Structure 1
């Protein structure tokens, strides 16, 4: 009979890490933050680590004798078969400077064990033919997503290390905050591009051109050979591509959609279609999107396609109903959960997320100036708080219908919140014929 393969582990490195913890109290808080107790495969070592942690948080100081005394008082020493096991660990020759190297080995072994467990369960369930494939695949993705999160480094930084990185960039003459440019020059001057980890809200009333603005910007960025992930919860992928084709050909969207072309337009359409095919735009037009599903699919797209920007059209169509951990009281609470999660995902994945948002009817009912303000955001409290930037789209001509014969309409981009910069109103042009925004 063949011997059963043992799960990945390194008992000796586990003991080495414990020995270092007992020899150097100064590093304990940082190590406790980094190490998951499950990194220890051997149950004696795991139990020992847990008790070192408990003892430290109780007395803020720990050594071999205090640990043995603590274990004896609490009748836990018998778990190790006596004190001999602990003395053997402390007598190991260790190199404290290699602690991070040892932790990374334990982490790798732990991840491999988890992966083997997931794979084994996946194979076992796959033999059951009565399973629902879609939910089965979704559950596998969910487990892999959580495993990827486990593999991430904890965000613990020392001030001196951050300063050193900034100094290095300054010495190299690099601009440290250059983000992804939108292609709207005056907007980019104020924002310096969309910044990594930022949540940007672009909001307007229906008819102002929220999706058109997003697509106009997408086209600008795609021409710079950057990859974009677009969650379109309202329009189909075919409709979006037709709009992009309308922008590129300068042919009315209605004609593109219904394939009504003049003979002279056909070569232009074919040429532009070949051009668009080369763009790195990835569209997810699922009609229903939960926060958890968004987390899983986004991470998958990022790993596969090197995505530089995520756009969601629009925020109020995301739901949290598939996540049983959330007990929703009202719609405002649901939007609060969604906006907080979007900000967390942007930060976790270090990528800008642009979420298009609806405005409340307050804009329509108030007299005088129809320019949106922050309180007009639908279910506004949480969105306003979580966003790094809030930009309103405002076309005066939509309300007042003046200069209707002009080819262009002046549009205002009103930056009403900018966590790391100035507030400003920027003017761009709107081409009515094809519903496209330009500089």
Structure 2
């Protein structure tokens, strides 16, 4: 028997499946295209089959025919023909393979055993990491997660989707929307005009919500999270700026209408205490999950999202905020590359879990130097890749922050400056500073011609 690729005698593999998939391709070379889309030479446990599949791959890349003669010649050119048992072994494989029809079935069996072997190898490496007491525990955890994801990420590769299949899914989606007119297409923000402009937050979209400090970015995220949770959306909030208690305090203020300062000092009247108790009972049923781990890495965030999606389901992820994340080792001296890495990974998380991901972001101080303080896309801090990776970029602007004598002290403008799949525009909201809460603005339009 051929030498295995690993010396572990307990490593899982299926000799019959390996022989069958190689034999099936020799019987029907056209099946190689479909099987090679997911099966690679390193997936084979037995070295002889690894050599044969690698030879077939090289022939396919050169557009050469795959048959007994060409495969044997290719192996001979690499001095591997004798190692696999000569041309006689190739003939034996074709004779022992019952049919080429199930080539993909055989291939998936080989693939599954390969994944199990990689998991075992990752487990061994994680064990060695854990035994290294000189290594920082945070680095141990990060490296362990990287080992595990190196296995799982290989399964995330996508294949071509034929047009009929893509159109069928799209048709079903449009038909569903036609039967539910008036509903947001995605996860609703709870703000009427914003949902009308965006159609709700769409699956796999990265939405960047940016503003200068003190504008109310966190308050907007929390208001939106509560609005989404109120209709059943399962929301994950990663906060690196505030602790869980501060976030919950703001939520309670929004729900009860009690001033944040009074809640902080526990100076409540009997009526307010009753409202507080009622609100806590109501909010506790919201499917909102908060993680306040500081300086979280995208890899750690992906791990936690995967766990949450498995245990409870996941419809929306919020990050507060992007620039407080940590890309890990290798980016300590280049902040621009670090933010580029983080924004790209946030987009990958949105796509992997097929959910909208909303991330707050800071703006550069360039805004303060201008006469017009309204932010623009070039104000996104530290990396142009934030604009590139995002599907939607929204800015928060409150004139009251810069102009105390403003005519609209409670007005907050949401500037949708980039919308990859739709229109841009400006939405007015009402900001209740006492409660740090955003609400739909009540707009009354008056035709001045009637006054003449």
Task: Give secondary structure in 2 for the equivalent of 1:83.
Answer: helix
Please state how far the C-alpha of 1:207 moved relative to its aligned partner: 1.3
Please state how far the C-alpha of 1:125 moved relative to its aligned partner: 7.4
Partner in structure 1 of residue 416 of structure 2: 415
Aligned counterpart for 2:88 among listed residues 84, 94, 98: 84
Give the conservation status (yes or no) of the 8 Å contact 2:209–2:393. yes
Q: How is 1:23-422 mapped onto 2 (pairs within 5 angstroms)? A: 23-119=27-123, 136-152=140-156, 154-170=158-174, 178-320=185-327, 322-323=328-329, 326-327=330-331, 330-367=334-371, 369-402=372-405, 409-422=410-423
- Give the aligned length: 430
Q: Which is worse superposed, 31-40 or 280-289?
A: 31-40
Distance 1:315-1:133 versus aligned 2 partners, 3 A rule: closer
Please state how far the C-alpha of 1:97 moved relative to its aligned partner: 4.1
Aligned equivalents of 2:100 and 2:405: distance in 1?
75
Distance 1:418-1:172 versus aligned 2 partners, 3 A rule: closer
Q: Which is worse superposed, 289-298 or 234-243?
A: 289-298
Give the conservation status (yes or no) of the 8 Å contact 2:217–2:396. yes
For residues 75-111 of structure 1, give each alpha carbon's deviation from its aligned partner in whole angstroms, at most 9, with x where no partner exists: 2101112111111112244544433332322222222
For residues 234-288 of structure 1, give each alpha carbon's deviation from its aligned partner in whole angstroms, at most 9, with x where no partner exists: 1111100000011111011111112121222111111111222222221111122
Aligned equivalents of 1:420 and 1:78: distance in 2?
58
Aligned counterpart for 2:23 among listed residues 19, 25, 33: 19
Please state how far the C-alpha of 1:343 moved relative to its aligned partner: 1.3
Task: Give secondary structure in 1 for the equivalent of 2:194.
Answer: helix
Distance 1:357-1:63 versus aligned 2 partners, 3 A rule: same
For residues 203-227 of structure 1, give each alpha carbon's deviation from its aligned partner in whole angstroms, at most 9, with x where no partner exists: 0111111001001101101111221
For residues 92-138 of structure 1, give each alpha carbon's deviation from its aligned partner in whole angstroms, at most 9, with x where no partner exists: 44544433332322222222223334445666877888887665555
Structure 1: gaps of 5 or more residues: none
Task: Give secondary structure in 1 for the equivalent of 2:275.
Answer: helix
Aligned equivalents of 1:21 and 1:182: distance in 2?
52
Aligned equivalents of 1:243 and 1:171: distance in 2?
39
Aligned equivalents of 1:96 and 1:167: distance in 2?
36
Aligned equivalents of 2:176 and 2:304: distance in 1?
37
Give the conservation status (yes or no) of the 8 Å contact 1:44–1:80. yes
Task: Give secondary structure in 1 for the equivalent of 2:102.
Answer: helix
Cα RMSD (Å): 2.7
Aligned equivalents of 1:27 and 1:255: distance in 2?
71
Task: Give secondary structure in 2 for the equivalent of 1:113.
Answer: helix
Give the conservation status (yes or no) of the 8 Å contact 1:64–1:90. no
Give the conservation status (yes or no) of the 8 Å contact 2:256–2:276. yes
Give the conservation status (yes or no) of the 8 Å contact 1:17–1:103. yes
Please state how far the C-alpha of 1:42 moved relative to its aligned partner: 1.7
Distance 1:118-1:313 versus aligned 2 partners, 3 A rule: same
Task: Give secondary structure in 1 for the equivalent of 2:418.
Answer: strand
Aligned equivalents of 2:52 and 2:158: distance in 1?
23
Task: Give secondary structure in 1 for the equivalent of 2:109.
Answer: helix
Give the conservation status (yes or no) of the 8 Å contact 1:228–1:282. yes
Aligned equivalents of 1:127 and 1:359: distance in 2?
43
Give the conservation status (yes or no) of the 8 Å contact 1:169–1:175. no
Please state how far the C-alpha of 1:333 moved relative to its aligned partner: 2.0
Task: Give secondary structure in 1 for the equivalent of 2:86.
Answer: coil
Task: Give secondary structure in 2 for the equivalent of 1:202.
Answer: strand
